Structure 1
Amino acid sequence: MLTRTDKKLNWLKKTTTLFAVIFVVVFLFYPVANSLAADPVFQGPQEQTDIYGLQPVADTIALTQMDIRLVIARIIRAVLGLLGIIAICIVLYAGFIIMTSGGNEEKVTYGKRILINGVIGLIIILSAFAIVSFVINALAKIYGLNMGGRVSRTPIIRTFDGSGALGRVVKDHYPFRDQKDVARNTSIVVTFAQPISPASVIINSNNTCWRDDGSSEPLKIVGGGTGCLKVDNVAVPYYGDCFTPDGQVFNQNTDCDTLVTSSVQIYETLKGELDPIPVIEAVALASYEDGAQKNVYSLVFKPINFLGSDTTNISYTVVLSDNIMKKPIAGDDEISVFDGYLENYYEWLFETGTEFDFDPPYVERVYPSSDPNKPGYRNSVLQIYFNEPIDPTVAQGYFSSTSIFNNIVVDSSSTLDIKGEWKLSNGYTIAEFLSADECGLNSCGEIMFCLPVGCPEEDETCSESYEVLARTAELLNNPDVPFGARLFTGIYDLAGNALNGNEDTETVRTAEGQPTSTVANEIRNDDEAPDNYWWNFLIGNKKDKSAPYIEYITPSIDQGNISELALVNIRFSELMWARTVRDYVGLDEYEANHCYQIKGNDVCLKDLWFASRITVSSTSGEEKTIIDVNHREFGPNDTDLYYFPKIFSQIKDANQNCFYPGRGPGLNEDSETTECNVVYDKDGIMLSQTGCVADMPNSDATRDTGCMTTYPVSTTVGNIPECINEIKNNIVSPMSE
């Protein structure tokens, strides 16, 4: 039996609980609504789509992106709804007892008591639900909060801030944009379009200099810099190297130069809002190119500590700032690599998985082939296609019989004086060698370079036997990392795995390591052993003069309703020089930097980013290059825009013939895109063409560029800008209002 005091106390408890619920709701949601009261300012895609900074977490571990206070409110509503259902069930149960009492007064009384308690409980629950809903909805109406988890605010307009430099200032990088499941032991690589000043990115932590004898081996600066190359009596620092003093064990983290973190920031994306941002420290290495010019285009960053986690995927952001400077021309001041562009930085994200990469790289194909019935041409560019990205600091360099670089060796049966340079491209998966011996001009009037042959030039029947050796790296002899490579000793991938030259099967991989070579810049019998890779081929005493042309394209000419991420696909008539594909394929967006009106202010798209990747198709014994142009999504924000792929004449085939004139698919009578086919004679003169751009002459500077649209404009013009001007008009490319 309850006393009056007990009943009053029980009523007070219920009342207090009810008002406590109301108080908690107001306390939780008033700050949320108040924080949303300010008018949102557009800052870019990250700020608009990640209101509370939860999106990276949600993407990683599949949580809701709704604010936690909104989640609590929805839970309260759900609980009150469940209690209401229970109260209704109690009322129904009471009615059942009364209806089945059979006149039993005791059961009727018991049923009435349950009914009264159930109704009272239901009234309390409904009242609480009504009060909670009223408070939340009132706040939502005033401050723009709604219980769907979305915010009533300015429409989201994605502008793709920080991405437009790819394809212009930045030519390539690894990991690529938004790449997933990246190995935790990866290096990060960036390649610029122009030579940069390495001092703006790298700290000369090991205090080394360039030698005054012209060697590319670094020298420790001691005293006044004895033995160092000097300018104005000051030793010239060697940026982006490693140096281990004699008698000491190599330690990457102490013997190598380090990254200037104000120029290149690498950090966990979720920590990007912290002040200061906790950036990742890294070793910074430079790949020097163009022989004596010592130009730096590519940089390799090796994090001091492994990236990622062994339990969850982690997103990383890389920011290239305007502190990165171009290589100064003599007497000029340094200027930023972003000078003259819409944005003064470049930014991209990638995500590490939970695993390390211990799989070695291997060679997938080579050019010229080993087929003795198909000798290569003197003007061939030697090509090695790897199955994954290779570290450019060990696969690029000037090669000669006396060069320091000998990780990839070119040799001949006649011990000819072979010299030239190896360079990487296509996402660091293709190594290409261009000879340094000039041998005439191509159809664009540019110098061609030929591999030497040991016979008179007029004797086209002779040939020279060549061999190329890709030297694997020395092993660390760590059983846990069987292909682990010692730095700079040979070819390895971006996770530090040495080349698997004999391409062991996936189930049985044996790390044989690097055999001892008696002559570093020649190929001897003991070099032809696992895990080196080598192949032999013939070079005939002929030059190929047939210009490449485009056989097939997708999307087709003036095709509409293209998906946002549709690849631009270009199939050439033969193998192409990968380095030129990277530099001379472009993609324009029209209207460029399209703007949207947001509360009276212009919010504009940033430049369209793009990057080309190539694959090789083999049909009936013919190898042809297929170019896939990756890009920022087409028609963002549901906007109808036009896109103009551009292939410049400087793009060349694997025999250095330029894309001139610009022949490619045309249109048939039904305005459908056709497949182009051209027949040349032995001197590279066109004999016939079918399905190509109409009326394309062999040589006419005013009509050497194909310009294709289904609208009645000139199909052959003088250059690409002239073509772009023709199709950027309101008749050919009308812009919707």
Structure 2
Amino acid sequence: MMAFFYCLLAVFEQINAQTNTSTIVEGVNVIEQPLGLPKTDIRVIAARIIQIALSLLGIITVVLIMYGGFIWMTAGGNDEQIGRAKKILVNATIGLAIILSAYAITLFIFRMLGVGDGQGGPTYPAPGSQHFAGSGALGQIIKDHYPERDQVDVPRNTKIVVSFRRPILASSTIMDTNGNGIFGDCLTSAVNFSWSDETICDRIRTNDGKIAKSGSEQGMLNDKYINIKQTDTGTSIVGGAVLAPVTKENNVEGVYTLIIVPLTDLSKTSGGYLGNSVSKLGYTVHLGSEIRLDDALNSHPRAFDSSNLGNNYYEWNFKTDTSLDINPPTVKSVYPLANSVAPKNSIIQINFSEPMDPTGIQGGFASGTQEYYLQNGFIYLKTTNTSAPLGSFKLTNGYRTLEFASSVECSEKNACGNPMYCLPVCDLSGTCPKVLVSTGKANKYESVEADSYSLMLKTAQTFGLASFESKPFTGIADLAGNALDGDADDAVDIATSTTPVFDNQLAPDNYFWKFMIKDKMDLASPYMTKLTPGPDAGNVVPNQELSMNFTKPMRTDSMYNIKLEEYAHSGPQSAIPVCYVPRVYVYTDWTYTKIQHCDFLFASRYDYLPIVPSEVEDVNFNCYYPGLGPDKLDLKSATKDSTVCNGSSNCCDVSTTTPGKGDLCCNGSSKNDAGQTFNSSTCRSYINSY
């Protein structure tokens, strides 16, 4: 049995995940999967035996009743035979009552032991006190990866991507086989480009530094570094070409993401594909103990610390489909919306239809002759009277969402006292146009300065008009190498490459849109309207959905600040933390966030504490503060959903310590409609008036 508690925090510092102490676990969960042992608990076996025995007795009882009825019906008035039939029926009925009582008692005991829900619902898997070995790093040092854990029907021509929360030492897991002094790159200017050619693309490090020269040389990869192997046989693929782009996170520059092209056939320029066209194959990706962090001050420690993660490695499984991905990616939504006017404390957000290749779409802008362009990338920006915004693009949310966040602090801070970041507006010489925008009040508008922003995403070059298969390093593509379908018409359109970009290249299959940034800020905080499961929910299933709804479009990268902690009521704490990763779906005026997680444990009662901190922010850097959200379980939906917050009955305490903001009312504002600063009393009155 498990219970959920929610911590909806309004804090002004980073929340650290719980550090688990490694313990010696008396059990077999950690070794059962590597050894191929069954993981059926002894209680489950006993339950099944009792159920089978009671079922057999029930069948016998039913047969006896039928037999007694047969004797009675064929008695032909014989009193002796009728009396014998009555005795059979009475004894069989008593036996049936005893069997049913025994079954009810057994079912009750099973439910108390956590073997089943006792209500004819799903039967829980074998109780355990450990998560699957090697899973604990996801949600800790591992930020995200593709393919996802246990994903099925993965296209055979996919790349494998892994993102870390801290920069890694590229040389610890990559060999500079092209000899240019950079660990994790390809010579993109090569005349005959081939992923298979180690003199063009760097490779995954091997134990002895040897490189496979043909498809017959198997087993070069090993578990010390990065291994990609068939799950059933343990046979490693030939190798992997690796890209390790340098990006900046939290003002720290380094290698956060590895992009791996699996090599299975060195005779092909594509490097071959995973799996085959006949049957679906399972693969395991193993990130080993020799992967190091780029932290010279601490002697480049290992990325995977077993004292915190339970293991000194991370691994996951996925299964390929029998076909290739030939479908192009499209843009599903953008923020700011096309032709809209957005506040200057906005991010730029692009949501794609599928995971994208990070190559050439992360980083910051540089100035060109007539536009700004992404350094070493494929994104272009043009403004009227505004300089190139400082900041960077980051691919996040399972590699489906691209977000640009400015690095220039605004004049005001958010409700938590943390910096907000603003895009420039008319900071160059010239006349800045004014636009009429709503004040947020009924039929009230104001005139503010605003400048136009035009963005273009350059699609990759295809080999022809017949398919979206693209040439590497020529533009934006998905992880299977399909070029972006800018107009989503499922037809290859080739735009010119003639400069200037914004005079000539605004054509399919490039994607482009225009919006305006106004010299005003959005200061309204987001809050939560729904939780699944609700607070204090109990008896949830191991794969229970964990999700939440927010009232505004949210910054997807901030969702990685959500934590999921696990506590055991009795018995040892799991040495391996529960793994988790967010998946975010952003809509025009709200956001749905689902936390994908490893199965919850059932060996004894466990409590799970999802923590939604104030570092969770909307697309305007407004923090999740106050910690406003549902506060009780919706009995109508049992353990599944919480009640929707109505804004008044679940109001958090206001704060007088927020720098420069004074008391903060539960509507996310520090002032009322008249512009007067709230205090605790007037805040409550304001909320109760609605």
Percent of residue pairs bearing the same amino acid type: 34
Question: How many angstroms does 1:562 deviate by?
Answer: 1.2
**Equivalent-residue separation in structure 1 for 2:432 and 2:629 (angstroms):** 34
Deviations 1:424-461 (A, max 9, x none): 11100000011233323323333322111116999861
- Matched position secondary structure for 2:232: helix
Return the letter of the residue paired with 2:624: F
Return the letter of the residue paired with 1:472: T
Deviations 1:578-605 (A, max 9, x none): 11112x1111111189539xxxxxxx56
Distance 1:159 1:404, change over 3 A: closer
Whether 1:205 and 2:180 are equivalent positions in the alignment is no
- Matched position secondary structure for 1:581: helix
Question: How many angstroms does 1:158 deviate by?
Answer: 5.7
**Equivalent-residue separation in structure 1 for 2:186 and 2:456 (angstroms):** 25
Cα pair 2:379 2:458 within 8 Å, conserved: yes
Deviates more, 1:290-299 or 1:535-544: 290-299
1:591 to 547, 568, 575: 568
Question: How many angstroms does 1:559 deviate by?
Answer: 1.2
Distance 1:529 1:615, change over 3 A: same
Whether 1:676 and 2:661 are equivalent positions in the alignment is no
**Equivalent-residue separation in structure 1 for 2:509 and 2:262 (angstroms):** 27
Whether 1:420 and 2:391 are equivalent positions in the alignment is yes
Partner of 1:445: 417
Distance 1:41 1:422, change over 3 A: closer
Distance 1:454 1:667, change over 3 A: same
Distance 1:577 1:364, change over 3 A: same
Question: How many angstroms does 1:201 deviate by?
Answer: 1.8
- Matched position secondary structure for 2:559: helix
Question: How many angstroms does 1:636 deviate by?
Answer: 3.5
Question: How many angstroms does 1:515 deviate by?
Answer: 2.4
> Of the two structures, which has the highest relative contact order with CA contacts closer than 8 Å and spacing of 6 or more?
2
2:311 to 320, 338, 343: 343
**Equivalent-residue separation in structure 2 for 1:49 and 1:669 (angstroms):** 42
**Equivalent-residue separation in structure 2 for 1:318 and 1:628 (angstroms):** 24
Question: How many angstroms does 1:293 deviate by?
Answer: 5.4
Return the letter of the residue paired with 2:391: G
Alignment of 1:334-413 (within 5 A): 334-339=300-305, 340-341=307-308, 342-372=310-340, 375-402=341-368, 404-413=375-384
**Equivalent-residue separation in structure 2 for 1:284 and 1:485 (angstroms):** 18
Question: How many angstroms does 1:462 deviate by?
Answer: 1.6
Cα pair 2:30 2:132 within 8 Å, conserved: no
Distance 1:199 1:704, change over 3 A: farther
Cα pair 1:408 1:470 within 8 Å, conserved: yes
Distance 1:409 1:486, change over 3 A: same
**Equivalent-residue separation in structure 2 for 1:549 and 1:370 (angstroms):** 26
Distance 1:289 1:156, change over 3 A: closer
Distance 1:568 1:700, change over 3 A: farther
Whether 1:518 and 2:483 are equivalent positions in the alignment is no
1:258 to 174, 178, 203: 203
Return the letter of the residue paired with 2:491: T
Partner of 2:576: 606
Whether 1:288 and 2:242 are equivalent positions in the alignment is no
Question: How many angstroms does 1:407 deviate by?
Answer: 0.9
Partner of 1:475: 462
Distance 1:486 1:691, change over 3 A: farther
**Equivalent-residue separation in structure 2 for 1:439 and 1:298 (angstroms):** 29
Deviations 1:42-63 (A, max 9, x none): 65241465469xx9xxxxxxxx
1:316 to 257, 260, 283: 283
Cα pair 1:551 1:573 within 8 Å, conserved: yes
Q: Which has the higher helix share?
A: 1
Structure 2 length-normalised TM: 0.67
**Equivalent-residue separation in structure 2 for 1:415 and 1:648 (angstroms):** 34
Whether 1:164 and 2:136 are equivalent positions in the alignment is yes
Deviations 1:663-701 (A, max 9, x none): 222249999954224xxxxxxxxxxx3242x44214457
- Matched position secondary structure for 1:537: strand
1:499 to 484, 488, 507: 484
Alignment of 1:427-466 (within 5 A): 427-440=398-411, 441-454=413-426, 461-466=448-453
Deviates more, 1:334-343 or 1:295-304: 334-343
Distance 1:410 1:605, change over 3 A: same
Question: How many angstroms does 1:159 deviate by?
Answer: 3.7
Instruction: Return the index of the structure with the highest Cα Rg.
Output: 1
Cα pair 1:389 1:429 within 8 Å, conserved: yes
**Equivalent-residue separation in structure 2 for 1:697 and 1:457 (angstroms):** 39
- Matched position secondary structure for 1:400: strand
Return the letter of the residue paired with 1:314: L
Question: How many angstroms does 1:417 deviate by?
Answer: 2.8
Distance 1:554 1:41, change over 3 A: closer
Partner of 2:654: 697
Return the letter of the residue paired with 1:502: D
1:270 to 214, 232, 244: 232
Structure 2 residues without counterparts, runs of 5 or longer: 1-26, 41-125, 206-220, 265-272, 369-373, 435-446, 667-690
Partner of 2:257: 298
Return the letter of the residue paired with 1:630: Q
Cα pair 1:394 1:492 within 8 Å, conserved: no
Question: How many angstroms does 1:181 deviate by?
Answer: 0.5
Deviations 1:465-502 (A, max 9, x none): 111111101122384xx111121211000000010001
Distance 1:347 1:670, change over 3 A: closer
Return the letter of the residue paired with 1:300: I
Deviations 1:363-416 (A, max 9, x none): 0000011244xx111010100000000011222122221553341222213353
Cα pair 1:187 1:495 within 8 Å, conserved: yes
Distance 1:655 1:245, change over 3 A: closer
Deviations 1:85-117 (A, max 9, x none): xxxxxxxxxxxxxxxxxxxxxxxxxxxxxxxxx
Partner of 1:69: none
**Equivalent-residue separation in structure 2 for 1:516 and 1:478 (angstroms):** 16
Cα pair 1:42 1:48 within 8 Å, conserved: no
Return the letter of the residue paired with 2:245: S
Partner of 1:564: 542
Return the letter of the residue paired with 2:645: C
Deviations 1:295-349 (A, max 9, x none): 11111100123100110000000111121111124x4411011135232111100
Return the letter of the residue paired with 1:286: A
Alignment of 1:112-127 (within 5 A): none
**Equivalent-residue separation in structure 2 for 1:363 and 1:166 (angstroms):** 28
Cα pair 2:528 2:628 within 8 Å, conserved: yes
Return the letter of the residue paired with 2:202: D
**Equivalent-residue separation in structure 2 for 1:285 and 1:157 (angstroms):** 38
Cα pair 2:361 2:379 within 8 Å, conserved: yes
| Root mean square deviation of aligned Cα | 3.2
Return the letter of the residue paired with 2:510: N
Cα pair 1:263 1:321 within 8 Å, conserved: yes
Structure 1 length-normalised TM: 0.63
Cα pair 2:554 2:586 within 8 Å, conserved: no
Cα pair 1:173 1:189 within 8 Å, conserved: yes
Cα pair 1:166 1:611 within 8 Å, conserved: yes
Cα pair 2:459 2:509 within 8 Å, conserved: yes
2:162 to 172, 190, 196: 190
